[in-house]
Chains A and B, each alone.
Chain A
Amino acid sequence: MVDKTLVKKIAELARLNIKESELELFASQLSGILEHIKSLEVVKVDGIKPMFYGCVDERPLALDEIELFDTKAITKTTPYIENQLFCVPSILEEEN
């Protein structure tokens, strides 16, 4: 059962601004979907290996060689650039 509190928590984790007025609607929609998905509970999967990939072919690993890229094409995609650095509001605590 997904209630407004859980929606708020999930929205925070996913960094989504959800308006107070929308919380209830999302809660009921998500609950409905999860209710349907519950059907998987009855499926027996003992000893079954999970399938996380679409294709597990053996592929060669890349050679360690430098390939150049026109970096301006990337720094051009945002106006929030100062001295070639991406600009953000102050990060409070330095982790790295």
Chain B
Amino acid sequence: MSNSYLKSSIPELAKALRDKKISAVELCELFFERIKKHKDLNSYISVFEKESLIQASLLDEEGFSEKDPLLKGIPISLKDIFMLEGKKTTCASKMLENYIAPYDATVTKRLKEQRAIIIGKNNMDEFAMGSSNEHSYFGPVKNPWDTTRVSGGSSGGSAAAVSAGLSQISFGTDTGGSVRLPASYTGILGLKPTYGRVSRYGVVAFASSLDQPGPMARNVHDLAIAYDAVAGFDKYDSTTSSNRAESIYEYLLKDNRKELTHQTIGIPTAFMKDGVNKDIVKSFEETLSLIKKLGFKTVDIELPHAKYALDVYYIVNPGEASSNLSRFDGIRFGYRDKEYKDLGSLYSGSRGEGFGEEVKRRIMLGTFVLSAGYYEAYFAKAAKVRSLIKQDFETAYTKCNAILMPVSPFTAFKLGEKMDDPLAMYLSDIFMVPVNIAALPSLAFPTGFDTGGLPIGMQLIGKPFDEKNIFGITRLIEMEKQDCFNRISIE
């Protein structure tokens, strides 16, 4: 099967399916072949070859028409954090190694409604805790651009799959950058929607007030179609917003150039000042020039409390996570220690054995910041600083409509490089966590490569529920810099 279809967008594939230039079965086979070929990337935990091919052949029998959803017959993958009924959902943990999901996540349900074919579950950092996808019970994910390097995390498997052409699109989750970071390390797009935009029902909870499921794709249209499929209020998730999610893909089909380019883009110069890799600085400045060339105005903005966002994040996420992970005790499901002698050792043995190091570290950190005597100084304080950070963005948005920033101060690092120092790992998140803390949307997109050939990404941060705008602007950038988009990283 011709690899040229790997460069096709979803609308193009949909047309090819309608015109019978390719069948759904052939499309699936194309991806399964590549998954096998690039097994060493370790981007999948489960692959559903047989069922997918059966599903595809049924769809082929049905046929494809213009009335069908664009995602019909398209092979997609999901981070192994989304419940897929009847299939293992492991969160890359020994604790859930054999856990068969008893229900579908809302995201899964909505994708099934769009007739997409879920071909497998992607590898990730255990329970979404990590920035490099090296904390997986099933081994690290390798960066397709350079397999001695990390793919980024925690949605590393999803990113590697999309980047290497092992699925058309994928869905990950972003709590402190976990969609945007691996997207930028692997040269693809990733969206963190506004908190409350996409349902978390059926997504294994990490940090409840920060988690957002988000799509990952090789081009803007695919990303939009993926987002449209899942966005919107869900009655099973009390944290979703009733703010209407209008179709972004429909919006992008129109010519919005004039209204978009009237806007002002904010640049948080002070916040980005230190410690950024010079290739990234160069790419940022190139992107800035492009923005200006397109007609946008730019303005310098202050985010005075953004420098505290990382510390706020590393109090809030472990605190909430330590509570969310209490349900994993080996009693009703999950790993149960074989050698327990009583109830107490059943709990601590199952959890001690079932969780990896990083997870245990965060649970302990979280237990500490919530405990009596420390709650006020840590958790409660962090919540107040969080308000200040949100306020900073609200103030910035009186002067601009979106904010441009690099995703990370550095590009993909070597496997093992930061494993001995958790703190060094946490610092990868510095430009991403303010977005989660402030509950804003952010779209990460590829802007080039560093001198070592590693992808660089920028992010466009929007106002709450203003996904339309950041999609629109990114589309304009994509049209100017087509060589950065739609790339397959590996043969």
Contacts and interface: CB of A to CB of B under 8 A. Distances in A.
A17 B349 contact: yes
Interface stretch (B162-170, B311-319, B408-416): B311-319
Given A7-B364, A18-B360, A54-B210, A29 B422 contact: yes
Interface residues on B, range: 35 or more
A32 to B, nearest CB: 5
Interface residues of A, number: 51
A74 interface: yes
A55 B333 CA distance: 31
A43 B368 contact: no
Nearest to A38: B311
Contacts of B332: 74, 77-78, 86
Contact of A77 (B100, B315, B341): B100
Contacts of B102: 70, 73-74, 76-77
A55 B196 contact: yes
B411 to A, nearest CB: 23
A52 to B, nearest CB: 5
A45 B387 CA distance: 9
Contacts, number: 160
A36 B210 CA distance: 21
Interface in B368-395: 368, 371, 377-378, 380-388, 390
B383 A37 contact: no
A91 interface: yes
Nearest to A32: B423
Given A15-B348, A89-B342, A77 B333 contact: yes
A19 B111 CA distance: 43
Contact of A51 (B194, B311, B386): B386
A13 interface: yes
Contacts of A77: 99-100, 102, 332-333
A66 interface: no
Contacts of B341: 89
B336 A33 contact: no
B74 to A, nearest CB: 28
B351 A54 contact: no
Interface of B: 85, 99-100, 102-103, 194-196, 209-210, 235, 238-243, 305, 308, 311-312, 314-315, 322, 326, 329, 331-334, 336, 340-349, 351-353, 355, 360-361, 363-365, 367-368, 371, 377-378, 380-388, 390, 422-423, 426, 439
26 contacts: A2-B368, A10-B364, A13-B367, A15-B326, A15-B351, A16-B348, A16-B352, A33-B422, A34-B365, A37-B315, A37-B378, A40-B311, A43-B381, A45-B381, A48-B384, A50-B387, A52-B209, A52-B383, A54-B209, A57-B242, A73-B85, A76-B102, A80-B331, A86-B331, A86-B332, A89-B342
Given A52-B383, A55-B196, 19 more contacts: A14-B322, A15-B348, A15-B351, A43-B308, A45-B385, A45-B388, A49-B387, A51-B384, A51-B387, A51-B390, A54-B210, A55-B439, A57-B241, A57-B242, A73-B103, A78-B332, A78-B334, A88-B331, A88-B343
